[in-house]
Amino acid sequence: MDQTIQLAFRIAIVWAAGFLLAVAVRALMPDHAGITLTGHLNTLFIPFNRIGFWTCLFAAVTVTALVVGRAMLADIGWQSLQ
């Protein structure tokens, strides 16, 4: 039970940090700065603030998956994770 509570707090901290960082990146980066991808028919403009936002959220999801996966492996008895 102690490990489950610790896991829940770790996940909450990672998600909170991810959201705060994502919102800060989105707020600080100007909308007109970004990458323009040119294709045969169209061009696509991707602003840096959206790249930063989704990168932070992707990092939070990745860390959550790794922490949950480690906890699951420890629960089934993988000894090297203890």
Q: What is the pLDDT of residue 69?
A: 79
Q: What is the pLDDT of residue 73?
A: 78
pLDDT tens digits, one per residue of 40-67:
888 888 777 777 777 777 877 887 788 7
Euclidean distance between CA atoms 6 and 18, whole angstroms: 18
pLDDT of 81 over the 70 cut: no
Could you give the C-alpha distances from 81 to 58, 69, 72, 77, in angstroms and in order? 24, 11, 10, 9
The structure tokens listed for 24 are: 């800060």
pLDDT tens digits, one per residue of 16-49:
887 787 788 777 777 777 788 888 888 888 777 7
